[in-house]
């Protein structure tokens, strides 16, 4: 499609003129440029403004110079404006621009809430921004999140956790971050290793993975993994040798479930970190795994860390969840359907 050059120039010229006019209007409202609205003022319209020091009344709807144009009420025959420098303020009842917050109805309840959660609540403000200490804290927590995503687990992590080491098709962290699908499938060497060395036909295959926060697995995995294996065995399940997958996405549990013939899989994976949550782990469970299994059929226990769900508690919760999943014959949305629609299983082998 061709564009007429003269028409384009006219549009640009009109836009520039409009921008200049708007800048002049805003400057006038701030008292930087005279807007010609003051009755009896000797200033020249368009020239230097009075900065709120004018004692004449406003006849227009521009707002007095003293409040910087923040007040948009009509100023017909407005009261005098006091010229006391930066503290100048109109005396007609205008609300201040930075009104203080309303009083807290229950200060003790708010104090308890702040102490009970790492979430940023009741942070306060200075004018229209965060206090400096809060701003610096947010920047620091954002740096923690970035470092968690970029971190790599050490080479000996599989041996420390007692896992069979595996890798996905993502050959590097950059590949893993840029191409998510590569993290959902094992490479050829790892597929062969699973077929030759992994336990087959168990009730539940447990998988540990770095995910989007290697820190989470390194900090929570050594407690969570053995506790989870013990809790599952205590509920009567058979479990296979645990597996560790580097550069893994949640979906890799589908392929592993198919390769091992397990009736269900659980993957421990580092969560996508938020502010200050670089050590948070999640557990995703899948019943009757298959390639491309919908997430609606899976369950998740998230925020596994000391400040969230402690690892030992998460292990017990996950074991109970798997017991209910096997009894109901399905996970995910299947567990929240009316009881009458769920075929009950009498045992794990049912």
pLDDT at 195: 93
pLDDT value of position 226: 96
Give, for 206, the enclosing helix (H) or strand (E).
Answer: strand 204-209
The predicted pLDDT at position 211 comes to: 93
- CA proximity to 274, closest of 303, 312, 249, 306: 303
pLDDT of residue 72: 41
Please tell me the predicted confidence (pLDDT) of residue 7: 64
Decide if 167 contacts 246 (C-beta within 8 A): yes
Mean pLDDT by 10 residues, the chain (350 residues): 58 66 56 53 55 44 41 39 44 52 84 84 82 89 88 92 96 93 96 95 96 92 95 95 96 96 96 84 95 92 92 96 92 73 44
CATH architecture of the domain formed by 157-341: 3-Layer(aba) Sandwich (3.40)
- Cα 198 to Cα 189: distance, rounded to the nearest angstrom: 13
- The pLDDT score that the predictor gives to residue 76 is 37
Q: Where in the chain is the domain with CATH 3.40.50.11240?
A: 157-341
Contact 260, 200 (CB under 8 A): yes
pLDDT of residue 130: 86
- State the Cα–Cα distance between residues 140 and 299, nearest whole angstrom: 32
pLDDT of residue 103: 82
Give Cα 196 distance to the centre of its chain: 40
DSSP for residue 44: P
- Measured N-to-C along each axis, helices 311-328 and 214-234 cross at an angle, to the nearest 10 degrees, of 50
Q: What 3-state DSSP class applies to 332?
A: helix
């Amino acid at each position: 499609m061709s564009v007429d050059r003269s028409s384009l120039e006219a549009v640009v010229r009109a836009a520039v003129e409009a921008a200049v006019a708007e800048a002049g209007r805003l400057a006038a409202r701030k008292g930087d440029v005279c807007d010609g609205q003051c009755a009896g003022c000797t200033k020249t319209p368009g020239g230097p403004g009075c900065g709120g020091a004018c004692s004449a009344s406003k006849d227009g709807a521009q707002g007095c110079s003293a409040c910087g144009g923040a007040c948009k009420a009509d100023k017909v025959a407005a009261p005098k404006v006091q010229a006391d420098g930066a503290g100048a303020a109109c005396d007609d009842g205008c609300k201040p621009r930075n009104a203080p917050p309303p009083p807290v109805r229950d200060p003790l309840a708010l104090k308890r809430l702040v102490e009970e959660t790492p979430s940023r609540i009741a942070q306060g403000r200075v004018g229209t921004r965060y206090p400096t200490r809060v701003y610096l804290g947010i920047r620091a927590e954002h740096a923690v999140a970035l470092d968690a995503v970029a971190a790599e687990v050490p080479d000996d992590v599989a041996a420390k956790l007692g896992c069979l080491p595996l890798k996905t098709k993502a050959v590097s962290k950059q590949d893993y971050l840029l191409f998510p699908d590569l993290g959902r499938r094992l490479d050829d060497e790892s597929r062969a290793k699973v077929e030759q060395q992994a336990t087959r036909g168990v009730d539940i295959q447990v998988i540990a993975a770095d995910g989007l926060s290697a820190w989470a697995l390194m900090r929570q995995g050594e407690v969570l993994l053995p506790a989870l294996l013990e809790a599952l065995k205590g509920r009567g399940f058979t479990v296979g040798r645990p597996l560790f997958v580097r550069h893994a996405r949640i979906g890799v549990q589908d392929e592993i479930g198919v390769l091992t013939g397990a009736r269900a899989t659980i993957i421990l994976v580092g969560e996508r970190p938020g502010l200050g949550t670089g050590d948070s782990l999640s557990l995703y469970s899948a019943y009757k795994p298959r390639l491309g299994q919908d997430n609606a059929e899976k369950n998740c226990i998230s925020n596994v860390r000391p400040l969230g769900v402690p690892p030992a508690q998460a292990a017990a919760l996950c074991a109970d969840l798997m017991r209910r999943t096997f009894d109901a014959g399905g996970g995910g949305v299947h567990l929240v359907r009316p009881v009458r629609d769920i075929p009950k299983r009498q045992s794990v082998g049912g």
